[in-house]
Chain A
Amino acid sequence: MALRKEEKRANALFSVPMIIVIGALTIIPLTYMVYISTTSWNLARPWGTTFVGWDNYSYLLKDPDLIQVILVTLYFVIFCVAGQMALGLGIAILLHANVKTISKTRSLFIFPMVLAPIIVGLVWKIFLNPQLGGLAAWLNLLGLPTVSLLGSARGAVTAIIIASIWEWFPFVMLILLGALESFPEEPFEAAHVDGASSTQIFWHITLPLLKPALLLALSFRVIESMKIFPLIFMMTGGGPGKSTSSIDYYAYLNGFVYLDIGYSSALMVIMLILTSVLCFSLFRSLFVSR
Chain B
Amino acid sequence: MEYKSVAYIKKAVLIMITIGGLFAILIPLIWLFLISIKSPLEAFRPESFWVFTPTFRNYFDAISNPSIRRYFVNSFVVASLSLAISMIIGVPAAFAFSKLKSRFKNFLLVYIVLARMIPPMIFIIPYFILYQRLNLINTRIGLAVVYTNFNVALVVWSMWTFFNEVPQDLLEVARIDGASIYQIFYKIFLPLSAPGLTTTAIICFLMSWNEFLFALILTRGATKTIPVGIIDLISYEGVNWGLVSSGAILMLLPMLLFAHLSRKYIVKGLLGGALKG
Knowing A132-B241, A280-B114 touch, does A15 contact B93 (C-beta < 8 A)? yes
Residues of A within 8 A of B63 (CB): none
Give bound CA distance, A175 to B119, whole Å: 22
Q: Which of A1-51 contact B (CB under 8 A)?
A: 3, 6-7, 10-11, 13-15, 17-19, 21-22, 25-26, 28-30, 32-33, 36
A65 to B15, CA, bound (A): 49
10 further contact pairs, Cβ within 8 A, besides A17-B89, A18-B156, A124-B28: A15-B96, A18-B92, A94-B14, A107-B259, A116-B212, A123-B32, A131-B44, A134-B27, A233-B216, A290-B276
- Asked if residues B18 and A255 are in contact (CB atoms below 8 Å), the reply is no
The answer to whether A30 touches B126, judged by C-beta atoms less than 8 angstroms apart, is yes
- Asked if A201 is at the interface (CB within 8 A of a chain B CB), the reply is no
- Contact of B47 with A140 in the complex, beta carbons under 8 Å: yes
- The reply to whether the CB of A119 lies closer than 8 angstroms to some CB of chain B is yes
B121 CB contacts on chain A under 8 angstroms? 227, 229, 248, 251-252, 268, 271
Q: Which of B53-92 contact A (CB under 8 A)?
A: 89-90, 92
For chain A, the bracket of interface size reads: 35 or more
Contacts A115-B210, A133-B46: A286 and B259 contacting too (C-beta < 8 A)? no
In the complex, B192 has a CB within 8 A of chain A: no
B-side residues, CB < 8 A to A, are: 11, 14-15, 17-19, 21-22, 25-29, 31-32, 35, 43-44, 46-47, 49, 89-90, 92-93, 95-97, 100-102, 106, 108-115, 117-130, 145-146, 148-149, 152-153, 156, 175, 180-182, 185, 206, 209-213, 216-217, 227, 230-231, 234, 241, 244-245, 248, 251-252, 255-256, 258-260, 263, 266-267, 270-271, 273-277
- Cα distance, A122 to B111, chains bound together (Å): 34
Measured in the bound complex, the distance between the Cα atoms of B274 and A131 in whole Å is 45
- Interface segment among A77-85, A97-105, A183-191: the answer is A97-105
Q: Does A279 belong to the interface (CB within 8 Å)? A: yes
Determine whether the beta carbon of A234 is less than 8 Å from that of B46. no
Q: Give the docked Cα–Cα distance between A119 and B17 (Å).
A: 27
> A residues near B, CB below 8 A?
3, 6-7, 10-11, 13-15, 17-19, 21-22, 25-26, 28-30, 32-33, 36, 91, 94-95, 97, 99, 101-102, 105-119, 122-124, 126-127, 131-134, 136-137, 140-141, 166, 171, 174-175, 178, 212, 216, 220, 223-224, 226-227, 229-230, 233-234, 248, 251-252, 255-256, 261, 264-265, 268, 271-272, 275-276, 279-280, 283-284, 286-287, 289-290
Q: How far is the CB of A110 from chain B (nearest CB, A)?
A: 6
Q: Determine the distance from Cα of A280 to Cα of B273 in the docked complex, in whole angstroms.
A: 14
Please tell me if the beta carbons of B29 and A227 are within 8 angstroms of each other in the complex.
no
Docked complex Cα distance between A265 and B230 (Å):
28
Is A111's CB under 8 angstroms from B29's CB?
yes
Question: Is B21 a contact of A268 with CB atoms below 8 Å?
Answer: no
The residues of B that contact A279 with a CB separation of less than 8 Å are 113-114, 117-118
Closest to A35 in B: B126
Are B22 and A175 in touch, CB under 8 angstroms?
Answer: no
B118 CB contact (under 8 Å) in A11, A127, A175, A272: A272
Minimal beta-carbon separation of A91 from chain B (angstroms): 7
Q: Given A36-B125, A261-B125, are A117 and B15 neighbors across the interface (CB < 8 Å)?
A: no
If the complex has contacts A29-B123, A230-B213, are A134 and B31 also in contact, measured as CB distance less than 8 A? yes
Residue of A nearest to B145 (CB): A25
Q: How far is the CA of A120 from the CA of B126 in the complex (A)?
A: 28
Closest to A113 in B: B259
Chain A contacts for B274, CB-based, 8 A: 216, 220, 283, 286
Residues of A with C-beta under 8 A to B101: 7, 11
Cβ-defined contact, A105 with B18, below 8 A = yes
